[in-house]
C-alpha cells in the first residue's frame, strides 16, 4: 500500500472488517442472500457490485457540486440504473446461463442500499479519488461476505466448489462419501443463507467485543 | 377466478417476498423494532406495490417488450426496448412514490401522518422494484393479475415484518448471547421463519415436489396398504376361527 496514504488505505480496509457493509452497517442484504447458493454466482455478483460502486461513486462525486439537493435521489438512481444496465447487457452477452441464474437480482443492484448509502454518506461530500477508494472498499467488504456465504453453502450443500466435486462423487461413493458423508440439503434452501450470515455476525462480534449491541 | 386465488395465496405464502427471495430486507431489519412502525411501513409497501406493479405492467406491455410498439404502426414491430426496463421501472417507482406522497398529504393528513415518513424510504426498497421485475420475469398475462400480484406480495411482506417485529418486542426479555444480540439473532429468527414458510411450498398444487418421489411414496403406501389388508384378513380369520371353536 505504498501508493496510498494511511488515511486512504483505511478507506479500503475498514469496510472489510470492522465497518463491514453487511454485518455492521446492515446495508445491501436484499440481493446478498438469494444468490449465494453457488460460489460462482456470488463471485459474479460481487464483481458486478464492485464495478457499479466504483464507477458510480466517482461519477456522483464528480457531479456532486451541480446536483440540486432536492432531486439528488433521482439523479443517483439514474446513474446507478445506467451502470446496472451495462452490467446486465454484458452478462447477457458473455455469460448467458449465469445471467439467467441471477435473473432479477442484477436489476436489484439498483435498489441495493449499499450503493445509495455510500452515495449519500460519502460520494456527495468527497473528491473522486477518495470516493473511488471508498466505493471499492465497501464493494469488497460486501463481496467478502458474499463469497464466504457462497463457499459454505455450496461446499456443505452440494459438495462442490465452482461446480467442481471437491469432496468426491456422491453417486459413485468416492472421497468423503465412501465413509458415509452426506450432503446437507438444508444449505441449498434460501433461509440457510440467513442463518449462515447470522453465524458470521456471531463470530465477528465475539472476536471484537466493541461491536456488540446494547441490550 | 381460480387463477386469481392461486396467485394470491402463492405470492403471500409460497413466494413470500422476505422469506423466499429476500426482498426489502434492509427496511425489514431496520424498521422492525416496534410493531406500530412495522405496521405503518407494511401498509405503505402494500399500497405502493399495488400502484406500481400494474403501472409497470402497462409500460412493459405497451413500450418495452419485443414488438410492444406495434400499436404505433407496423414499422415499429421489430423494436425491443426491454434493456431500458430497469431505468424506466425505477423512474416510475420514484415518481409514483413522490406523487402518492403529495396526494396523500393533501387529502388525508391522518394517513399521511402514519405513512408519511415511510414513503420516501420506499422508493429505494428492493421489494418494490423486485415486485415489478418479478412481474416482468414471470410474464403475468393481464393487468388484473398484475394488480393482484402487487397487492398480495405487499401483504406477504406486511405479514413478515409484522411477525418479526412482534418477535423482536418479546425477545428483549430473553437472554440472548451477547455477540448475537440485535442483528445476529434477528437473522437467525428470520431464517427459522423462512424454513417454516417453506412448508407452504406444496400447499396449492403440490407441483414443487419432484414427481419421482411422489411415485415411490404412493408405491410404498400401496404396498403398506396391501400388507395391512393381509394382516387384517389374517386377524379376521383368526378371530373367526376362535369364534367357531368356542
Q: Summarize pLDDT for A49-92 with one digit per residue, the tens.
A: 899 989 999 998 898 888 887 777 788 888 888 998 898 889 88
A37 within domain boundaries: yes
CA distance, residue A191 to nearest chain B CA (Å): 5
Task: Please indicate, yes or no, if residue A4 is contained in any of the structural domains.
Answer: no
Closest-CA residue of A relative to B171 is: A215
Q: What is the distance between the alpha carbons of residues B57 and B70, in angstroms, rounded to a whole number?
A: 17
The answer as to whether A11 is a domain residue is no
Burial A131-169 (b: 16+ CB within 10 A, else e): bbbbbbbbbbbbbbbbbebbbbbbbbbbbbbeeeeebee
Selecting from A194, A203, A212 the residue whose C-beta is nearest the C-beta of B187 gives A194
Residues of B in contact with A195 (CB under 8 A): 187-188, 191-192
Is residue B99 less than 8 Å (CB to CB) from chain A?
Answer: no
Of B124, B125, B179, the CB nearest to A212: B179
Q: Nine-digit cell at B56?
A: 409497470
* pLDDT value at residue B222: 54
Cell triple for A132: 473511488
Residue ranges for chain A with pLDDT beneath 70: 1-4, 31, 213-215
Q: What total number of domains does chain A contain?
A: 1
Taking the CA of residue B61 and the nearest CA in chain A, the distance in Å comes to 18
Is A17 domain-assigned? no
- The residue of chain A nearest to residue B92, with distances taken between CA atoms, is A74
Domain of A180?
23-214
Specify if A65 maps to a domain: yes
Q: Nearest-CA neighbor of B137 among A105, A98, A189?
A: A105
pTM here is: 0.78
Count of CB pairs separated by less than 8 Å, A with B: 146
**What is the model's pLDDT at position B154?**
92
In a domain, A15, yes or no: no
CA quadruple B85, B91, B97, B103: dihedral, nearest 10: -120
Per-residue model confidence (pLDDT) at position B233 = 65
Q: Which helix (H) or strand (E) holds A161?
A: strand A160-161
In this predicted model, what pLDDT tens digit does every residue of B50-63 receive, in sequence order? 989 999 999 888 88
> What's the gap between Cα B226 and its chain centre?
42
Amino acid at each position: 500500500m505504498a501508493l496510498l496514504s494511511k488515511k486512504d488505505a483505511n478507506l479500503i480496509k475498514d469496510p472489510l472488517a470492522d465497518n463491514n457493509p453487511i454485518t455492521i452497517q446492515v446495508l445491501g442484504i436484499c440481493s446478498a442472500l438469494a444468490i449465494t447458493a453457488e460460489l460462482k454466482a456470488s463471485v459474479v455478483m460481487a464483481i458486478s457490485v464492485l464495478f457499479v460502486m466504483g464507477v458510480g461513486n466517482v461519477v456522483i462525486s464528480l457531479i456532486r457540486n451541480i446536483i440540486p439537493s432536492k432531486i439528488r435521489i433521482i439523479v443517483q438512481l439514474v446513474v446507478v440504473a445506467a451502470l446496472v444496465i451495462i452490467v446486465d447487457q454484458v452478462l447477457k452477452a458473455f455469460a448467458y446461463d449465469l445471467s439467467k441464474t441471477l435473473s432479477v437480482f442484477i436489476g436489484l443492484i439498483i435498489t441495493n442500499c449499499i450503493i445509495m448509502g455510500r452515495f449519500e454518506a460519502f460520494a456527495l461530500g468527497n473528491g473522486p479519488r477518495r470516493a473511488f477508494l471508498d466505493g471499492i472498499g465497501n464493494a469488497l467488504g460486501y463481496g467478502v461476505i458474499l463469497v464466504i456465504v457462497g463457499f459454505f453453502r455450496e461446499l456443505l450443500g452440494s459438495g462442490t466448489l465452482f461446480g467442481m466435486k471437491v469432496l468426491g462423487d456422491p453417486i459413485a461413493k468416492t472421497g468423503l462419501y465412501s465413509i458415509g458423508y452426506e450432503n446437507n440439503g438444508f444449505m441449498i434452501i434460501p433461509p440457510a443463507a440467513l442463518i449462515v450470515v447470522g453465524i458470521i455476525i456471531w463470530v465477528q462480534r465475539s472476536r471484537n467485543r466493541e461491536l456488540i449491541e446494547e441490550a | 377466478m381460480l387463477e386469481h386465488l392461486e396467485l394470491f395465496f402463492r405470492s403471500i405464502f409460497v413466494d413470500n417476498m422476505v422469506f423466499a427471495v429476500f426482498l426489502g430486507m434492509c427496511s425489514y431489519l431496520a424498521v422492525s423494532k416496534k410493531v406500530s412502525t412495522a405496521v405503518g411501513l407494511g401498509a405503505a409497501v402494500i399500497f405502493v406495490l399495488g400502484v406500481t406493479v400494474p403501472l409497470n405492467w402497462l409500460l412493459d406491455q405497451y413500450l418495452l417488450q419485443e414488438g410492444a410498439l406495434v400499436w404505433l404502426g407496423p414499422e415499429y414491430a421489430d423494436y425491443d426496448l426491454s434493456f431500458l426496463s430497469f431505468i424506466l421501472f425505477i423512474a416510475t417507482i420514484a415518481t409514483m412514490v413522490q406523487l402518492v406522497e403529495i396526494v396523500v398529504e393533501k387529502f388525508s393528513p391522518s394517513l399521511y401522518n402514519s405513512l408519511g415518513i415511510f414513503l420516501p424510504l420506499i422508493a429505494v426498497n428492493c421489494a418494490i422494484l423486485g415486485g415489478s421485475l418479478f412481474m416482468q420475469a414471470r410474464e403475468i398475462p393481464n393487468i388484473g393479475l398484475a394488480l393482484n400480484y402487487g397487492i398480495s406480495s405487499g401483504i406477504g411482506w406486511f405479514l413478515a415484518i409484522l411477525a418479526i417485529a412482534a418477535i423482536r418486542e418479546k425477545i428483549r426479555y430473553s437472554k440472548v448471547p451477547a455477540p448475537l444480540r440485535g442483528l445476529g439473532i434477528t437473522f437467525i429468527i428470520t431464517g427459522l421463519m423462512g424454513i417454516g414458510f417453506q412448508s407452504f411450498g406444496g400447499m396449492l398444487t403440490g407441483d414443487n415436489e419432484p414427481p419421482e418421489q411422489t411415485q415411490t411414496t404412493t408405491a410404498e403406501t400401496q404396498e403398506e396398504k396391501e400388507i395391512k389388508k393381509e394382516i387384517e384378513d389374517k386377524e379376521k380369520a383368526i378371530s373367526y376361527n376362535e369364534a367357531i371353536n368356542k
